[in-house]
Amino acid sequence: MISRKKTIEMIDKIDTMFPDAECELVHDNPFELTIAVLLSAQCTDNLVNRVTKDLFKKYRTPEDYLSVSQSELENDIRSIGLFRNKAKNIQKLCGDVIDRFDGTIPGNYDDLVSLAGVGRKTANVVLAVAFGVPRIAVDTHVERVTKRLGITRYKDSVLEVEKTLMLKVPEERWSKTHHQLIFFGRYHCTARSPKCETCPLLEDCREGQKRMKRKDA
């Protein structure tokens, strides 16, 4: 793995590339964000935003989601992968939010992960975006680019990636770095066709250098 100093140098370059990186899930409040992040599992933010454009007009409160059958909610999110399981989790989450948290999304990690369908990544996103708590949420983009760049190890688990980033990146930069790494992975260092030839990190990226050598061979 590369050093903390080199990690910060790389993050600084990514910061220059994507200074305005932010959460791309459209939402107006912590509750809508939680639903949107839950829906985004194994799904693109663009598709989620297309679905929630109408979904958030029909369902504005936890009570609204519980006022319909699960099959009706399934139909409203049918274009999203795993829609049956997600509909079930949304309704269970809404019931818990009403029964245990007075109808509002809790602002601490332990309470968030106790909700149906809310795992570590979802909780970290909600805390960082909705409540301004410094967090690093590791999704497929963050995991991929940090391993390619050597910031983390290829054998690291998602939790190990998160912990390594928290050690190497100053806490006040956690949330911003999370979004910038996502943008870097989504729009530049993509899964299938990373833009290595124009990447400002190429001189320090072993993975990119290997890919460029294979192209030249």
Span 16-51, pLDDT tens digits: 999 999 999 999 999 999 999 999 988 899 999 999
Task: CATH number for 4-21+137-216: choose from 3.30.830.10, 3.40.50.970, 3.40.30.10, 1.10.1670.10.
Answer: 1.10.1670.10
pTM for this model (two decimals): 0.89
CA distance 165 to 172: 12
- Amino acid 162: pLDDT: 96
Taking residues 108-130, report their average pLDDT: 94
Instruction: Give the start-to-end residue ranges of the domains of the chain.
Output: 4-21+137-216, 30-131
Residue-wise pLDDT tens digits, 190-200: 999 999 999 99
Helix (H, G, I), strand (E, B) or coil at 143: helix
Query: Which of the residues 121, 156, 168, 176 is marked catalytic?
Result: 121
Q: Which CATH superfamily is domain 30-131 in?
A: Hypothetical protein; domain 2 (1.10.340.30)
Mean pLDDT of 113-140: 94
Told to judge if 20 belongs to the known catalytic residues of this protein, a careful annotator would answer no
The full DSSP string for 166-189 is HHHS-GGGHHHHHHHHHHHHHHTS
**Residue 139 is among the residues annotated as catalytic for this protein:** yes
Q: For residue 206, what pLDDT band results from cuts at 50, 70 and 90?
A: confident
Position 211 scores a pLDDT of 87
Q: Which of 76, 86, 139, 156 is catalytic?
A: 139
215 pLDDT above the threshold of 80: no
